[in-house]
Amino acid sequence: MRNIRDYEAWSAQGLDWTGAFARAIGDMRREGGGVLQVPPGVYPTGPIRLYDDMTLCVESGAVLRFHDDPAAFPLVELEFEGVAGELPHPCLWAAGARNVTVTGFGTLDGQGAAWWRRHRAGENPNGRPYLVCFSDCERVTLENVTLTNSPAWTVHPLRCRKVTLRGLSILNPADSPNTDGIDPDSCQDVRISDCTIDVGDDCIAIKSGTEQTANRQPSERILITNCHFLHGHGGVVLGSEMSGDIRNVAVSSCVFYQTDRGVRLKTRRGRGGTVEGIQLNNLVMEEVMCPFVFNMYYFCGADGKLRRVWDKAPQPVDGTTPALRDVSISGVRARRCTACAGFFYGLAEMPVEGVTLRDVTVEMTPDGPAGYPAMMDGCPEMRAAGFFLRNARGVDLRGVRVKGVSGAWLDVDDSVHLEGQET
């Protein structure tokens, strides 16, 4: 076991600990791994990289305060939104490593304000660093620390196996751009538990690359449980990068408060890939705009304004056609919702298929603000609406109750084929 204080001589008199961390980790690497303790105190530092069989223990009262100068972050090969390229070195990174743990009750502060300001002004030509990134790793654990002010996505496991994320407090301002909480990307065997996430974008977004991703891999066997989501655009999100498939995801015993949307899928033509085997149960939501959004006409990002994305006429089905099927939702209580109870909009040529709701109660607020449930062209603005379905089949709503709606609780047309419904 090593203590970073023993390397203070390489810390520029305590003003910059980058060299101290590099020296300590270099010693550990030569010895085949070990534990690096960070005792209470504030440690200004540049990016840190961990290797095989290493544990970084950031103790209670310790703050790793990462620099906000782009010059401190060399460019490395990574991916953002499914596109490979050179990005700033993540604040904390492990690549191609095994058996890596970051633990303790301390804080990792990404000092994102300067990065966000430059982003809005178009002055980050090479993008922004992730706060924590594990790429191509196996058996990684991140637990108990507080992660705040991330320059971009906060925790990004990319092409990893056997990932454990638990007891995290992730706190980014509500207006901070693209500061997702946790984004498992092309990962297998992931467990996320006991986390509190309050961010400026999606709280958890499961991804698997886009049509531009050369090495697409599925995200699968993912468990999310006992988490608390506050604010953010969505609590638990699937996509929009899902070209490598997302399957076998279970979300249970979670609380959503004032997230724009509760659980949502976002994809569009051109992505390909299938989302299937999704189990959602024992969820509590309050003051969300819309508890469930399945949107296959998502218009954000590159190519999102092309005709093929917004055209509601059926298109030929091929390998670029995305699919959503086999979703089970049970034991949900949603109160004081504002826009609509649920919004399912499949493609004309590939409907949302096989969605079952059981023991689901949604209470709308008639005098709440109107909103657009989905980010898609032609999405109607809604207030206190019920379930809105287009291009869906095999949808079973026989376990649903909707209260406080203005008008009918169910809005469907001839593109929808229900197995049954009741109020």
Q: Active-site positions?
A: 201, 233
- CB burial of 274-290 (b: ≥16 within 10 Å; e: otherwise) equals bbbbbebbebbbbebbb
Within its chain, how far is the Cα of 263 from the centroid? 11
- Please spell the DSSP secondary structure of 169-229, one letter per residue: EEE--TT-TT--SB--BS-EEEEEES-EEE-SS-SEEEB---TT-SS---EEEEEEES-EE
Cα separation, 330 vs 353, whole angstroms: 17
Q: What angle do CA 73, 152, 37 make, to 5 degrees?
A: 60
Within its chain, how far is the Cα of 258 from the centroid? 16
Cα separation, 365 vs 12, whole angstroms: 57
The H or E element containing residue 118 is: helix 112-120
3-class SS of residue 315: coil
Which tokens sit at 217?
A: 């891999």
